Chain A
Amino acid sequence: MLRIGQRVIQVGIICLGISFVSFVLLHLTGDPVTVMLPLDAPEQEIAQFRHKMGFDRPIVVQFLAYLKNAARGDFGNSLFLERPAVSLVLDRFPASLILISTGLSVALIIAIPLGILSAFKSHSFIDNFSTSFAVMGQAMPLFWFAIMMMIIFCIQLRWLPVSGYGTWKHLILPSFCMGIWQSPPTMRLIRSGMLDILSQDYIRTARAKGLSEGKVVVKHAFKNALIPVVNLVGLQFGFLVGGAVVTETVFSWPGVASLLLNAIRTYDFPVVQAALFLLALLIISVNLIVDVIVALIDPRIRDKQR
C-alpha cells in the first residue's frame, strides 16, 4: 500500500512539474500577449485581451489560478476553435490510444519470442540475427523509417492508403512502424534478462529435479524474466507517446500528438497545456498499473513494504 501512496505523490509531483513548465512556457518570452496576438494589433485590443486573460495579475496569483483550474480540468478554450481545450484533446485520445497500444503489441509480439529464443540458443544463427536486427534497429530514426515504409507500401506498391483513419488498413503501417521501432531495445532487454536468469542457480535446481526443458523455460525462467520486461513496458509507453508525434504527423493520424504539434506551431497555449497535462496523466497511470502488475508477479516486492 505504501508503494501506491508513494506513486500518488509522484503523480502529484509530475503533474505539478508539467503544469509549471507549461505555465512558464507562456511567460517565457516575457509578455505572453505578444505571442498570442498579431503584432500590429491596436493598443486597446491588447490591453483588453490582457485583462480578459488575467495577465495583468501578479505571476504567483496567475500560477495558482492556473493550478486550480487545471485540477478541475479547465484549461480554457482553444485560441482558435472556441471550444474547451480539454475536450479537443479528449476527442483525439482514442485514436492515439489505438495507435500506441497496437504499436506496443506489435513490438512485444516481435521482441518476446526473438528475445527468448536468442537467449536460449545463445550465439546461434538466430541469436546473431536478432542482435544484428536490434543494433540496426536502434540506429534507425523513426520518422525516416515511417517515410520509407510509406514510399514503398503506399506509393510504389500501392497496397495501403497513404493517410487517414478508419479501417484496419489505415492502422497497419503506422502501428507496424511504431512496433518495429520499439522492438530492438525491448528484444535486447528480454534477451539479456533471460540470459541472466538462465544462468541462475534455481534454473539448475529445476533441471536437477528432472523437469522438461519446456517447463524450465516457460514456468521457471519466464515468470522471472517478466519482471524487467513489464517494467520496460512502463518506460516504453513514454517513448511510444514521443514516437506517436512522428507517426501521427507522417501518416496524418488524428491523434493527440499531432494535435499537440499543431497547437505548438500555432501557439495555441491552452491546447498545449491541456495536451501535455493529459498525456502526463496517461503515462503516469500506465506506470502505476505496471507497478501493480510487477508486485503481483514478484512476491519479494510485496513484502518490502512491510
Chain B
Amino acid sequence: MDRLIEIDNLSTYFDTPEGMVRAVDGMSYYVSKGEILGIVGESGCGKSVSVLSILRLIPEPPGKIADGKIAFEGVDLLRVSKAELRQIRGNQISMIFQEPMTSLNPVYTIGNQISESFIKHQGLNKKEAWEQSVEMLKLVGIAEPEKRASDYPHRLSGGMRQRVMIAMSLSCHPKLLIADEPTTALDVTIQAQILDTMLQLKEKIGMAIILITHNLGLIAETAHRVIVMYAGQIVEAGSVIDIFKAPLHPYTQGLLMAVPCIGTKSKLGKRPLKEIPGMVPSLRHLPEGCLFSPRCSAPQTLCRSESPPATSVEEGHVVRCWQFH
C-alpha cells in the first residue's frame, strides 16, 4: 500500500474574540496513490480547514496551524520553506474549491489564468502556455476551447467555470487533487457531468483525490475510503464498504440512517425521517469528554468525562468511541 500523503496529528486553531477555536484537533489520516478518499461531515466540522492546512492556505492571523506533520514525497509540508511549498502548490498537489462563481479573477481571461500554472511550473513561454491551456479546456469538455480561452470568467456559467478550475488544477498533472465540495454549488444535472469529467481525468493522469462533500451518496459511488468528521475530529475512518455496510460510530450510524430512502413508505409504512437529536456543538463551547456524547443514544459515564482516542478495530478501520476501546 503506497501512501502518497500522510497527515499526522494535524491541529489548526483560530483566534476569535471568544477565544481559541479548535477547528481541527489532532487529525491523522493518509491517502494512497491513485485512490479516492472521501471526507464527510456536517457544515462546520472542519473538513475544509483540514485540507486548506495541507497546502497552508489558512489565513495566518486569525488562523494558526498549531501542530502536526504532513509527509508528502519525503518532505514535511508544514515545515518546508515557502518557496518549496509554492513549487508543490498547483503542481504536485492541486485544489479546487466550492464556489466556481468567485474562484476566478474577473479581470483576466480564462486562458491567461490557466497559462499561469504552465508558465510558473513548467517554464513555458506565453504562447506555448496558451496552447496548452486550450488543450486543457478541450480535455475538460468545453466547446470551442480557442474562443473560450479569450473569454472573461463572467461570460461562463457556473458549471463551465468549475470545468475551468479543473483544467487549471490538473494542468501540471498533480499527484493529488483536493476537491472541496466541487459540485455543491451547481445544478444537479451539471453535478454528474463535472464528476464524470473529474473521474475520467483521474484515470488518465493516475492521481489521487481527496473529495470533500456532505453528500453520502456521492461518496458511496466514487470513493474507495472515507473519513467521517465531527467537530474537528475524525470519528470513524475506513473503506467505503466497511463504513456503509457496518458503521460503528453512533454518529456515522445516525448519518446513514438519516438518508431518506425511496420505497420506505411502501415497505415499512409511513414514518418520520430519522434524525440525530440535538445540534452540532459550537466550536467555542465544546462539551467535556467525547464530543458526540450529548447526542449519543447510549453514552457511558466514561464518555462524558474523557475523550476517546482513535482505535483501530480491524485492518484500515478506525473508530473514536469508547465502545470499541
Contacts and interface: CB of A to CB of B under 8 A. Distances in A.
| Contact present between A and B (CB < 8 A) | yes
B106 A299 contact: yes
Contacts of B102: 200-202
Contacts of A223: 107-108
Interface string A196-237: 000011101111111110000000100110000000000000
B64 interface: no
A40 interface: no
B317 interface: no
A204 B97 contact: yes
B88 interface: yes
A208 B57 CA distance: 7
Contacts of A298: 106-107
Contacts of B107: 223-224, 297-299
A43 interface: no
A45 interface: no
B253 to A, nearest CB: 35
Contacts of A204: 57, 97, 103
Given A202-B103, A220-B105, A209 B97 contact: no
A202 B86 contact: no
What is the predominant secondary structure among interface residues of chain A facing chain B?
Answer: helix
B103 A209 contact: no
A209 B89 contact: yes
A70 to B, nearest CB: 41
Interface stretch (B115-123, B131-139, B288-296): B115-123
A188 to B, nearest CB: 21
B55 A299 contact: no
Contacts of B105: 202, 205-206, 220, 224
B87 A210 contact: yes
A206 B108 CA distance: 12
A209 B119 CA distance: 11
B105 to A, nearest CB: 4
A205 B106 contact: no
Contact of B155 (A123, A206, A207, A303): A303
B154 A210 contact: no
A210 B97 contact: no
A52 interface: no
B11 interface: no
B154 A207 contact: no
Best-buried of B85, B88, B108 by chain A (most CB within 10 Å): B108
B194 interface: no
B106 A202 contact: yes
Contacts of B85: 210
A297 to B, nearest CB: 6
B152 interface: yes
A208 B154 contact: no
A210 B88 contact: yes
Interface string B83-116: 0011111110011010100111111100000001
Nearest to A302: B152
A303 B99 CA distance: 22
Given A205-B103, A210-B91, 13 more contacts: A201-B97, A202-B103, A204-B103, A209-B117, A209-B168, A210-B120, A211-B116, A224-B106, A298-B106, A298-B107, A299-B152, A300-B152, A303-B152
25 contacts: A122-B61, A201-B102, A201-B103, A202-B103, A202-B105, A204-B57, A205-B103, A205-B105, A205-B168, A207-B57, A207-B89, A208-B55, A208-B89, A208-B90, A208-B97, A208-B169, A209-B117, A209-B169, A210-B86, A210-B87, A211-B86, A223-B107, A224-B105, A297-B107, A299-B106
